[in-house]
Structure 1
Amino acid sequence: MHVALDMMVDILKAAAESSRLRILALLSRGDLTVSDLTEILGQSQPRVSRHLKLLLEAGLIGRYQEGSWAFFRLSDADSARDFVLRLVSGIRDADPQVERDLERLAAVKRRRQERATAYFRENAASWDQIRSLHVPDRAVEAALLKLVGKRPFQSMLDLGTGTGRVLEIFAPLYRRGVGIDLSREMLAVARANLDKAGIANVQVRQGDIFSPPVERDAFDLVTMHQVLHYLDDPARAIGEAARLLRPSGRLVIVDFAPHKLEFLREEHAHQRLGFSDRQIGDWFAEAGLDLEEVQDFEPRGGGEERLTVKLWLGRDRRLLIADPASDAQQAAMRQFGETA
């Protein structure tokens, strides 16, 4: 972190207390509420809230509202987040206090998983009916991974994250992932799934796709997986997603080709019955994106009662201008690694 001396002293003071350091270690493993932290730390809510206030003021953590719940997370700022992760990496998991914290954290995550399982069980029939109409999800996921490639990147945003599956499959590639969904029930499912997969460099938040609670010009990859057909204004959603991309960032959309299955509108709240390449291409162009690739996934068996899945990749037209100082710094680090 490149900050003034006095500010660094304040940051270190905020972190240099056992309870606050425990909080940072817990938040490095995922987002938690005040109630979660109160249960894990075995402290009163006013005391935990005081610790959180000091960490917020120091810029080490962030806060977001989800209905009546307030969640806390590590800071979105890369420098502050990296600072905290380096700090807590020096704490031994075998420390008795940390060991107890992790056991209680595991109990909190188990309850999340139980709630998610119950929600899935109640809604499984509806989802299975739609899945039976198109190509298996695994085929689309494999295509997504191949399309995006193996090169790591800084940040990813999944709009309408649902179960968090897209965040999960790309987790090895990004340093920071964010998922947005309007449904608190689906966010609970996503948190449980990401916890189960052991993914800590990601957070999910409640928010509207048309005004997502994230910074603009901040993401290398934005995804919208089976989301557009639920929206009354897909063009606006694409325009908003494009504003969140960094220069040369990519927007990937997965949805259906045009179809005539009216029951999806009547029984499953689909606003649009699929999209053509021309529609998506025009909306991309209006948003300042170039349509780079289109892929089709025909349903097995074919027929009018089946859905073709489409994948569209758009790229921000602005050029990414490298920082010469950053390039020199990275080259020096590589050289140091080679000679060490």
Structure 2
Amino acid sequence: MVKPGFSLNKLVDILKASAEPTRMRLLVLLSSGDLTVSDLTEILSQSQPRISRHLKLLSEAGLIERYQEGAWAWFRLRREGEAAGLARKLVEEASHADAVITRDQGRLAQVRAARAEKAMAYFSRNAVGWDNIRKLHISEEKVETALRDMVGDQPVDSLLDLGTGTGRLLQLFEGIYRHGMGIDASREMLAVARANLEKSGISKASIRQGDIFNLPLENGGYDLVTIHQVLHYLEDPHLAISEAARMVRPGGRLVIVDFAPHGIDSLRGEHLHARLGFSHQMMADWLEQAGLEVVKTRDLEPESGAEALTVTIWLARDRRIEMADEQPAPKIASRRV
């Protein structure tokens, strides 16, 4: 059997596209997550036209892909297609101990840290009125009713709410969990959440400061994990989903609430949205990569208004319990008396 591969001309085109220092640096950077042209110009200290030209050549060779969110164009290493595997291989062969690559990674960390600091300042300013801010585009009561319907009323042992904010979901599902945990990076948000839980008389839920990308918790400890209106603030939401999936027990569930794709670019500046919504396909792909399977989705249409948004709820389940159920039960040896 002939081994599948590239034609000679195609292979030469791919190698030509990547065989340039700046383009190789771009491939390594984009392997770390999705970035904009502005991010890349800041990291590499090169002009926007120059960076755009390099990105165009890499895209034409099938090594990277571009997608649009409002006025912003994002780039990432291609995940599918005949050149995707070769793109990953090229990145793997680049030494991350190289001085140039090390410097690029340091600048990338600075860009992300600056954005995170800006977002944290926003959360701190708006912690007390956060629930009112979330009502700007769709009725929170409508979302909560749909959430209750999708999750159901079957009791669970443990619930984890990531980016808990004011602790609202710990209050909403108080009747079905035995132990609850809310995680948030903002001390101001945690103070509000603790006050809300105390006011509601909920003592079976606790609040803890933590990073959604590096949770200070044991693997697989929760029957139900929730992420409510958090992902659109993150530069790398798929990494947060992977970390959330790590928390889900075999057979457990992950519920995500966020916006459907939209074009209201002003939300970036006014409310620091990093992403303008998520499509069903994008979310399904990320969940599958994290080892989860989407079992139900629901789109909640917005109220009337010029800047009304659709909210989507995704319910996913860990498949490991299903795989275990398919295995034949072990035979129990008979015991003679």
Q: Is the 8 A contact 2:261 2:279 kept in 1?
A: yes
Q: Which segments of structure 1 move beyond 6 Å, counting only runs of 4 or more? A: 119-122
- 2:309 alignment counterpart: 307
1:135 deviates by 2.1
Q: What's the CA shift string for 1:94-137, capped at 9, x where partnerless?
A: xxxxxxxxxxxxxxxxxxxxxxxxx898853x7645523x2210
Match of 1:192 in 2: 195
Counterpart in 2 of 1:242? Answer: 245
Give, in whole Å, the separation in 2 of the partners of 1:318 and 1:129: 38
Between the aligned partners of 2:133 and 2:212, the Cα distance in structure 1 is 25
Cα distance between partner residues in 2 of 1:122 and 1:234? 22
Question: Could you say which structure has the larger radius of gyration?
Answer: 2
Q: Which residue of 1 aligns with 2:135?
A: 131
CA RMSD of aligned residues (A): 2.0
Distance 1:204 1:127, change over 3 A: closer
Size of the alignment, in residue pairs? Answer: 201
Q: Distance in 1 between matches of 2:267 and 2:163?
A: 18
User: Scaled by the length of structure 1, what TM-score is found?
Assistant: 0.56
> Which residue is equivalent to 2:111?
none
272, 276, 293: which is aligned to 1:273? 276
Bigger mean CA deviation after superposition, 152-161 or 257-266: 257-266
Structure 2: segments with no counterpart, 5+ residues: 1-123, 326-337
Provide the C-alpha distance between the structure 2 equivalents of 1:122 and 1:296, rounded to a whole number of angstroms.
27
Distance 1:315 1:267 in 2: 34
Percent identity, aligned pairs only? Answer: 55
Distance 1:184 1:319, change over 3 A: same
Q: Distance between the aligned counterparts of 1:137 and 1:310, measured in 2?
A: 13
Gaps of 5+ in 1: 1-118, 323-340
1:63-102 correspondence to structure 2 within 5 Å? none
Deviations 1:166-223 (A, max 9, x none): 0111111111000000000000000000001000001010000001111111100000
In structure 2, the CA distance between the partners of 1:137 and 1:231, relative to structure 1 (3 Å rule), is same
Q: Is the 8 A contact 2:225 2:248 kept in 1?
A: yes
Q: Does 1:221 align with 2:214?
A: no
State TM-score, norm by structure 2: 0.57
Pairing 1:118-197 to 2, within 5 Å after superposition? 124=129, 128=132, 131-132=135-136, 134-197=137-200
Q: How far apart are the structure 2 equivalents of 1:307 and 1:185?
A: 27
Residue in structure 2 matched with residue 80 of structure 1 by the alignment: none
Q: Please point out which of 254, 261, 265 is paired with 2:257.
A: 254
Q: 1:35-77 CA deviation, whole Å, 9 max, x = no partner?
A: xxxxxxxxxxxxxxxxxxxxxxxxxxxxxxxxxxxxxxxxxxx
Which whole-Å CA distance do the structure 2 matches of 1:256 and 1:267 have between them? 16
Q: Does 1:203 align with 2:206?
A: yes
The structure-2 alpha-carbon separation of the partners of 1:196 and 1:128, relative to structure 1 and needing over 3 Å to count, comes to closer
Alpha-carbon distance between aligned partners in 1 of 2:127 and 2:299, rounded to the nearest angstrom: 31
Tell me, in whole angstroms, the C-alpha distance in 2 between the residues paired with 1:122 and 1:150: 30
Which residue number corresponds to residue 320 of structure 2? 318
Amino acid of the structure 2 residue aligned with 1:233: D
Q: Residues of 1 paired with 2:134 and 2:198: CA distance?
A: 26
For residues 290 and 306 of structure 1, do their structure 2 counterparts lie closer, same or farther at Cα, with a shift above 3 Å needed?
A: same
